[in-house]
């Protein structure tokens, strides 16, 4: 109650799954439902993460993500991290590769959801530290993650239908160390620079049929509006062409998650004259997919939605 009434608006209450009493200590009992009631009453806008009903843990502390990440999952996953034996442990190789205890790498496919009576919207969060440890140690000043590594994790997490929580430990003086701060500035500058100019702005765009009011032109801006195929049509193709060749190394696709998460398979292809090259293919998209590939020079990019649970609804398309 003190934490939620003395510090203004709280956007997140993060319950670590660890039970730190040790093998010979007393096992603590947690009154989860009582905690949730207090949070909802005092800070109704706060998300409750990990041992909570709003945001789930990805299953490791190394920045690893799944090939397909579904936000709609069996409701039983909400109880996974409340169980002490399944809680977070040290970031060792064996632990990094394990899956959530209630399931495996596939958490939301049709096969997994079949027979489930309780489905929930439960997006995942990827949490990791900018240094080897969670707390500040002077001996780790030269072990701050590289810009390349942070960008890679960003593209797999934020660009893989997840949220990203990056731990930055304060020093003994209560400050962020200069090396950590500099790396964060570099990361912010890189991400802003990379997406400063969307090549879709100069492209001619065509797409397969759309539902009235959900025209493909809505894909040009990340604002209100979306592209949607007519009900019953579960695949589509969007073509972008340029008069002069453009250099491309990333395509960003966003579903309009107000309509839930629908897309199950996609493919991105470059067409230059008679030459065709598959740049990326995958399964889920969700809130955001960063499709990153080796740079290509091309006159045409095709984005194909090959399978979708119902008519796909896409909010935004970016080419960089």
Question: Could you count the other beta carbons within 10 Å of the beta carbon of residue 237?
Answer: 14
Residue 236, burial from CB neighbour count under 10 angstroms (0-12, 13-18, 19+): buried
Question: Could you count the other beta carbons within 10 Å of the beta carbon of residue 112?
Answer: 15
Q: Where in the chain is the domain with CATH 2.60.120.260?
A: 199-319
**Minimal CA–CA distance to 312: which of 269, 259, 268, 267?**
259
Question: Could you count the other beta carbons within 10 Å of the beta carbon of residue 58?
Answer: 25
Which residues are registered as beta bridge partners of 126?
164
- Tens-of-pLDDT digits for all 320 residues of the chain? 999 999 999 999 998 866 666 667 677 778 899 999 999 999 999 999 988 899 988 877 777 778 889 999 988 888 777 765 544 444 444 433 233 443 457 889 998 898 888 899 999 999 999 999 899 999 999 999 999 999 999 999 999 999 999 999 999 999 999 999 999 999 999 999 999 999 999 999 999 999 999 999 999 999 889 999 999 999 999 999 999 999 999 999 999 999 999 999 999 999 988 889 999 999 999 999 999 999 999 999 999 999 999 999 999 999 99
Concatenate the DSSP letters of all residues of 50-117 into one string: ESSSSBEE-S-SS----SS--SEEEGGGGGGGGSGGGS-----HHHHTPPPTTS-S-SSSHHHHTT-S
Token code pair at residue 105: 């790498």
| Whole-number Å distance between alpha carbons of 70 and 49 | 17
CATH code for the part of the protein at 2-194: 3.20.20.80
The CATH H-level (homologous superfamily) assignment of domain 199-319 is: Galactose-binding domain-like (2.60.120.260)
Q: Where in the chain is the domain with CATH 3.20.20.80?
A: 2-194
CA 172 to chain centre: 32
């Amino acid at each position: 109650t003190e934490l939620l009434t003395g510090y203004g608006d709280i956007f997140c209450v993060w319950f670590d799954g660890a039970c730190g009493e040790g093998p010979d200590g007393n096992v603590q009992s947690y009154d989860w439902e009582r905690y949730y009631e207090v949070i909802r009453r005092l800070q109704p806008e706060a998300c409750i993460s990990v041992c909570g009903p709003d945001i789930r843990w990805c299953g490791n502390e190394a920045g690893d993500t799944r090939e397909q990440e579904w936000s709609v999952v069996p409701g039983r996953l909400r109880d996974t991290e409340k169980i002490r034996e399944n809680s977070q442990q040290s970031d060792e190789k064996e632990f990094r590769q394990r899956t959530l205890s209630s399931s495996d790498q596939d958490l939301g496919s049709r096969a997994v959801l079949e027979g489930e009576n309780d489905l929930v919207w439960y997006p995942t969060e990827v949490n990791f530290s900018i240094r080897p440890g969670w707390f500040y140690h002077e001996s780790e000043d030269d072990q701050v993650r590289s810009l390349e590594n942070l960008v890679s994790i960003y593209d797999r997490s934020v660009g893989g239908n997840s949220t990203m929580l990056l731990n930055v430990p304060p020093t003994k003086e209560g400050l962020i160390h200069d090396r950590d701060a500099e790396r964060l500035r570099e990361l912010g500058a890189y991400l802003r620079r990379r997406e400063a100019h969307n090549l879709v702005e100069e492209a001619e765009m065509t797409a397969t049929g759309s539902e009235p009011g959900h025209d493909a032109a809505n894909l040009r801006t990340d604002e209100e509006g979306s592209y949607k195929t007519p009900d019953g049509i579960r695949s589509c193709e969007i073509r972008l062409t340029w008069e002069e060749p453009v250099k491309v190394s990333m395509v960003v696709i966003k579903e309009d998650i107000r309509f839930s998460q629908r897309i199950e398979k996609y493919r991105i292809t470059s067409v230059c004259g008679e030459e065709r090259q598959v740049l990326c293919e995958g399964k889920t998209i969700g809130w955001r997919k960063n499709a990153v590939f080796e740079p290509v020079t091309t006159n045409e990019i095709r984005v194909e939605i090959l399978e979708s649970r119902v008519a796909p609804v896409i909010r935004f398309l970016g080419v960089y």
